[in-house]
């Protein structure tokens, strides 16, 4: 039996207050250094991955298959302008920024939003513009209205977004001569548990849908999460019907109003898509999202402008924003 004194002096008391502090502090410091270090140094890779994921989704919804990608070389290559020697029918994706209210190009406003000066190339401005960040932007002009965003009031906020951006990306799948084969719109809307973010691909007639895909959402796996099910997604593509015709879902009805919807049960016609079993709210969310983004607060102005330009070469923009309430 050793005498008490020798014991306490020779042993290090790990339960002393001092040691509690020192250990706690050192563990915290080391761990936070490691974690923060990793987060910061890996950020560029992670951001690149996120970007790539979005590009992949755009390319897929445009109906481009693996072999087309292999031909071009990589997903990123699809977004590059065609070079001099490329084949006339080579498809690539052009990223543009449009003002949702007027339907016109909005690169300069985006440049202001990003705080970039004139020396920065247009393509870079477009590539750097994050519309979801813009939707959260709080900068106001002298009249008290949001400059880069727009608050929606209850009657307009069909998709449950509260506040949206003024400038949105639109992706054009076109050939080297500038003929647009498909228009791809970034869309989003509230489901049951989350906002579903996705891309919708539309034919040049602005009436036929050629694809819908969601790349981020938090809906219940097996229920609302079935928006990811290839079988359900296939309904949004252009397929051969019983008569041998290639048909796709139609957006607008005869009255010019958005008619496409996700119905309960089985789809009856070209304006409806099968509902998601057990996920009424998610299904409604999809319908509402489409109604919103093809309405006056969404891409309607842009679409009308494109339709005008297409038929008469008239580049005057039509302000298709009746009913928009600007609450700033």
Partner 1 sequence: MAKKASAKDLILDPVFNNNPIALQILGICSALAVTTRMDKAFVMSIAVIFVTALSNASVAFIRNRIPNSIRIIVQMTIIASLVILVDQFLKAFSYGLSKELAVFVGLIITNCIVMGRAEGFAMQNTVRDSFLDGIGNGLGYSMILIVVAFFRELFGAGKLFGSQVLPSWYEPNGLMLLSPSAFFIIGFAIWALRTWKIDQVEEA
Partner 2 sequence: MDYAIDLIRLFLRCAFFENLALVYFLGMCTFLAVSKNVKTAVGLGIAVIVVQAITVPINNLIYNLILKEGAPLYPADLEFLGLICYIGVIAAMVQILEMTLDRFFPPLYNALGIFLPLITVNCAILGGSLLMVQNKYDFVQSCVYGVGSGFGWAIAIAALAAIREKLKYSDIPAGLRGLGITFIVVGLMALGFLAFSGI
Site of interaction with partner 2 (CB under 8 A): 31, 35, 39, 136, 193-194, 218, 220, 222-223, 277-278
Distance from the first to the final alpha carbon of the chain: 81
223 is in the binding site of which of partner 2, partner 1, none (Cβ under 5 to 8 A by kind)? partner 2
H helix intervals, the chain: 4-10, 17-61, 66-72, 75-78, 107-114, 122-128, 131-135, 230-234, 280-293, 300-312
Q: Which stretch binds partner 1 (CB under 8 A): 23-31, 138-146, 184-192, 266-274?
A: 23-31
230 binds partner 1, rule: CB under 8 A: no
**CB-nearer residue toward partner 2: 193 or 252:** 193
Shortest CB 73 distance to partner 2, Å:
33
What is the edge-to-edge ordering of all strands in the sheet holding 195-202? 91-99, 167-175, 180-190, 195-202, 209-216
Binding-site member from 53, 71, 108, 205 for partner 1 (CB under 8 A): 53
Nearer to partner 1, 38 or 325 (CB): 38
| Closest to partner 1 by CB, 14 or 88 | 14
Residue choice 7, 50, 124, 140 for contact with partner 1 (CB under 8 A): 50
Residues 249-278 that bind partner 1 (CB under 8 A): none
Using DSSP, state whether 74 is helix, strand or coil. Answer: coil
Residue 129 CB burial class (10 angstroms; 0-12, 13-18, ≥19): buried
Closest to partner 2 by CB, 32 or 112: 32
The yes or no reply on residue 27 touching partner 1 (CB under 8 A) is yes
Q: Does 128 bind partner 1 (CB under 8 A)?
A: no
Check residue 39 for interaction with partner 1 (CB under 8 A): yes
**DSSP, res 208:** B
Q: What's the Cα-to-Cα distance from 118 to each of 2, 40, 96, 265, 312, rounded to whole Å?
A: 81, 30, 18, 54, 33
Residue 99's Cβ-side half-sphere holds a number of Cα atoms within 13 Å equal to 18
Binding site for partner 1 (CB under 8 A): 12, 14-16, 19-20, 23-24, 27-28, 31-32, 34-35, 38-39, 42, 45-46, 49-50, 52-53
């Amino acid at each position: 039996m050793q005498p008490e004194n020798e014991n306490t002096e020779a042993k290090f008391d790990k339960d002393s207050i001092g040691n509690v502090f020192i250990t706690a502090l050192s563990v915290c410091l080391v761990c936070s250094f490691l974690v923060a270090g990793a987060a910061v140094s890996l950020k560029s890779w992670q951001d690149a991955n996120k970007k790539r994921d979005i590009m992949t989704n755009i390319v897929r919804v445009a109906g481009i298959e693996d072999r087309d990608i292999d031909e071009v070389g990589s997903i990123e290559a699809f977004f590059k302008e065609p070079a001099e020697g490329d084949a006339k029918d080579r498809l690539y994706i052009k990223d543009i920024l449009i003002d949702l209210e007027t339907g016109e190009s909005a690169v300069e406003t985006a440049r202001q939003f990003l705080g970039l000066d004139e020396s920065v190339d247009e393509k870079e401005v477009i590539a750097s513009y994050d519309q979801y960040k813009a939707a959260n932007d709080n900068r106001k002009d002298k009249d008290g209205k949001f400059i880069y965003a727009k608050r929606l009031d209850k009657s307009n906020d069909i998709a449950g977004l509260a506040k949206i951006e003024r400038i949105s990306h639109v992706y054009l799948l076109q050939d080297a001569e500038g003929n647009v084969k498909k228009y791809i719109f970034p869309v989003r809307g509230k489901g049951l548990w989350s906002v579903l973010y996705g891309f919708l691909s539309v034919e040049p007639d602005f009436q036929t849908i050629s694809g819908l895909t969601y790349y981020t959402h938090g809906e219940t796996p097996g229920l609302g999460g079935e928006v990811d099910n290839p079988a359900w997604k296939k309904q949004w593509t252009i397929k051969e019907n019983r008569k041998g015709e290639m048909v796709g879902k139609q957006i607008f009805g005869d009255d010019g109003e958005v008619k496409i919807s996700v119905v309960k049960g089985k789809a009856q016609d070209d304006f409806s898509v099968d509902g998601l079993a057990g996920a009424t709210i998610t299904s409604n969310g999809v319908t509402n999202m489409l109604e919103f983004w093809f309405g006056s607060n969404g891409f309607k102005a842009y679409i009308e402008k494109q339709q005008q330009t297409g038929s008469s070469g008239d580049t005057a923009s039509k302000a298709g924003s009746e009913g928009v309430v600007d609450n700033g």
